[in-house]
Every structure is written in structure tokens, then in C-alpha cells.
Amino acid sequence: MDNGKQPELDGRQQTLLGFAEGAQERGHFFFYVRIPGDIQPIERGERFEDPLQAALDAEDLGEVTGGGSQMGEGKTVEFCGLDVEVTDRERGLCVIRQVMRRLNAPPGTVIEEYLPVFRELSLDAPAV
């Protein structure tokens, strides 16, 4: 239920909320694209980060400001993600969704939005 209050966030999400607040102070919008699966950092960059950055550059919309991996069992990666900051929320979401679908992002990939409250956005849904 969306009651306008921030749900309880884990440590990773608290950090990303701080990134979103910093973006908001600059008049921008922050999204974290969470990509499930054992995708190592170099593959993440080549497969997702670089093409997304190129698309954002082409539209003069923003940038991929970082990325990371959540380790799983052993040396596997549970999920990886991209920190994305854009100047226009709706256009930015549209580009993120189009690029990630074109790149065949794995099922379960979501876009996390942190402000005004945390929510997970589908790659298939329109921007709201």
C-alpha cells in the first residue's frame, strides 16, 4: 500500500536513497536498474552500461553514474545494477526501458525509484 511514507529500506537501499536525494538537490532524477543473475562487472559494463550511456548521451538526458554487484554464494553475483541519473524523469525512464529491453535484460530486471518513496518499476510498464 502506498501511504506516501518511505518503507523500511535495507543498507543498500539506504545508500541509493542518498544518491537519489543528491540527484534531487541538483534537479535530477535517480534510478537504480537491478539486473538479476551472475553477471560479472566487465560483462555488466559492456552489455548494459556502455549502451545505456550511449543512448542517454544521444538524447542529452543524463548519465550512468556507477554500478555494482551483490555477491551471492561463493564467487557468484546474485544481481548487478546501474546507477542512473537523468534530467527528465519520463524521458529517462523511457530510454532506460527501451535500451534494457533491446539488450535482452534478464527476466526480473527492475528499475528502482527512491523518491518520493521507494518503488520497483517494471521494464514493460509506461512511465508514471
Percent of the chain with pLDDT over 90: 73
Give the separation between CA 3 and CA 24, rounded to whole angstroms.
21
User: Can you tell me the mean pLDDT for 79-85?
Assistant: 95
User: Can you tell me the mean pLDDT for 58-77?
Assistant: 89
Q: What is the pTM of this model?
A: 0.90
pLDDT tens digits, one per residue of 19-58: 999 999 999 999 999 999 888 889 999 999 999 999 999 9
CATH of domain 11-110: 3.30.70
* pLDDT score of 75: 79
Give the separation between CA 68 and CA 127, rounded to whole angstroms.
25
Q: Say if residue 2's pLDDT is above 70.
A: no
For the chain, the structural domain boundaries read: 11-110
Q: Are 30 and 83 in contact (CB under 8 A)?
A: yes
- Cell digits of residue 128: 508514471
Residues 9-31, buried b or exposed e (16+ Cβ, 10 A)? eeeebeebbebbeebeeeebbbb
CA atoms within 13 A on the CB side of 57: 8
- Closest to 109 (Cα-Cα) out of 9, 37, 41: 37
